[in-house]
Amino acid sequence: MINFRTTMKASASFWLVCLNFLAPDLKAQCSLACNDQIVVNVPTGGTYELLPQTAAASDLSVFCPNGVISTQILDGNTWIPASGNVVFDDSQVGQLYQYRIQDSVTGNWCWGQVEVAGQSPANDTIHFRLSAELWSDGRPVYGATLVFQPINPAFPYSPMVFTLDEDENAMDLAIVPSDYMPGTTFSYSATLPDTGYHNGVGILDLCKIHHHLLGIDPLPSPYAMLAADINKSGSVTTFDVIQGIRLKITQTFFNNGAWRFIPDYCVFPNPANPFWPACNAEISMTELAALDNDTARVIAIKVGDVDGDVQLPGTLNPDAGIVDSITMLIPQGSIPANTPVAVPVKLDKDFTYGGTQLVIRFAPDIFLFDSISDGAIPKQSSFGNVHFDTASNELRMLRYNLYPSNPITIPANEPLFYIHLKSTQTVQLQDVMQLVIDDQGTPSILIGNNCSGVYKMGYTYSGFVPVQTPLARGVQLQPPSPNPFTSHSWLELELEQSENVWLEMADLTGRVLHSETRQLNPGTFRWELPVDKIPSGTMCFWRLVIAGKSASGKLVRN
């Protein structure tokens, strides 16, 4: 004798009576009602016949006493079988069909859905493990809160919530199918305390997002694209890059958390666009039963981290693809008190530049930071952010080559950029300025052109600190004065030979307020700035370029 279990959705029935050309009194003798959704269990190697009285939501002997009734399922556009009842075998386990009960005497019928499941005793228990793991390499995500949620419109099941310790990433669960109403589905997810929004988000990620947008090198997986959607807009755009660059300033994401969690049953219909259509939000009891003695995984995605190198608690940080090391050269020597200086930052070897990620820390309450001016990395061809954090007294830089088709070659000992600052006391620069190489999740690195080749940065002190603005040899510059100003401000230049001089002024958004080029003769020249372009009570940036060298700074109008 074949044993089987048929489960019916308790609260939902679907009534449908079709009109035909029989006499009304004959039609009225047969009124059919089907269960909206039923589950049938087919034994392994056996079959199961779906009988009308099993699928009906009413007593057929009462509501259709003279009927000749059978069951069918829809196969394409055809109801099968042509006669008799539909019979399922174990090759159909896991399938969902539209079924109907039809009376051949009156032509009346009703329909619903039937799910074909394997045989499972009513008291069976599904044992499985629910874990949180990182998308890129399966590393365990410790300390998460796991959530397992049964879902049924007819009954509000409470979620099962498990807050894991900092040395746990999984929880063992036991689910008894008979505890849940027919048609119940399930989902699982997780949350994680903030591990630092900037953790794992660096210049390499931003460069890769930019290259994805340019079509140079698409991101490698749907998970990486979900990570790249930093502003949670449902797409990957330049705005995600901008928000990632500003992360060191904002310390958070607008409209997004630090983490996203995707269940492992989520299959993306279009891997090239994981945002649409959305993946399945739930799984059935049959799919859950398939996890018996297995592991269900919640996939963790660190927002902004498209290469999967986020620093996780309790695990080793993966190798970010370091191919070599490179040394940053910082000048050594004394800085006089209250004297503006321009500190050149150089490299010890030739380098084809793709991007910069670094943090330079200064001793607190000594330096007054002014600005950064260009060196071998021209501003016009790089994109990024330079920020001085007054709370930590750190200069933070993220910049990359905006046009990878035009590589930037930086010769050894050629200044990458200049740091303009003033000390409140006479100090030795090597005593109060250092490169931070162990910043969590964002170590100081360089990358080669086209986001290739990651170079771990070290530093040493070499050379001497200049105390003059770094322009071409034979050029002296007096920055704008007065500054702040009310109605007038001037630059003063002293030239040993004729030079083409380019002046640019821009507001805080980067919008150019004024740009002009002049041919200046040898001697001293006083250049009145077009201050009428600067609104009262605002600040702008000025930049002067002479013979391929530049100087820059801030200008404030009262």
CA 453 to chain centre: 22
pLDDT at 149: 97
How far apart CA 239 and CA 525 sit, in angstroms, is 43
**Domain segments of the chain: what residues?**
6-118, 122-316, 322-464, 475-556
CA dihedral (29, 34, 40, 45) positive or negative: positive
- Per DSSP bridges, beta strands 126-134 and 47-49 are unpaired
What is the domain class of 6-118 according to CATH? Answer: mainly beta
Within 10 A of 491 (CB to CB), how many other CB atoms are there? 20
**Tokens at 206, concatenated:** 């931003």
pLDDT at 27: 58
* Selection from 56, 37, 50, 49 nearest residue 109 by Cα: 56
Contact indicator for 73, 46 with CB cutoff of 8 Å: no
pLDDT at 441: 58
Q: Give me the CATH topology for the region 475-556.
A: Immunoglobulin-like (2.60.40)
How far apart CA 97 and CA 73 sit, in angstroms, is 6
Region label for 293, one of left (φ > 0), alpha (ψ between -120 and 50) or beta (otherwise): left
Cis peptide before 277 (omega within 30 of 0): yes
- Only one residue has tokens 């088709």, namely 405
pLDDT at 465: 63
pLDDT (tens place) for every residue of the chain, 558 residues total: 233 333 333 333 333 333 343 445 555 678 899 988 888 888 777 888 999 988 888 888 888 988 899 999 999 999 999 999 999 998 898 899 999 999 999 999 999 999 998 765 544 889 999 999 999 999 999 999 999 999 998 899 999 999 999 899 999 999 999 889 888 999 999 999 776 788 889 899 999 999 999 999 999 999 999 999 999 999 999 999 989 988 877 888 888 899 999 999 998 888 889 998 888 789 998 889 889 999 999 999 999 999 998 888 776 666 667 888 999 999 888 888 888 888 888 899 999 999 999 999 999 888 888 888 777 777 667 788 888 888 889 998 989 898 898 898 888 888 888 888 888 999 999 999 999 987 665 788 999 999 999 999 999 998 766 555 556 556 777 778 788 888 888 888 877 778 889 898 888 777 888 889 999 888 778 888 988 888 888 888 888 888 777 777 888 888
Contact indicator for 536, 522 with CB cutoff of 8 Å: no
CATH of 322-464, one of 3.40.630.30, 3.40.50.20, 2.60.40.680, 3.90.1300.10: 2.60.40.680
3-class state of residue 32 by DSSP? coil
Identical fold, 6-118 and 475-556: yes
pLDDT at 3: 33
pLDDT at 473: 55
* Selection from 519, 515, 499, 495 nearest residue 507 by Cα: 515
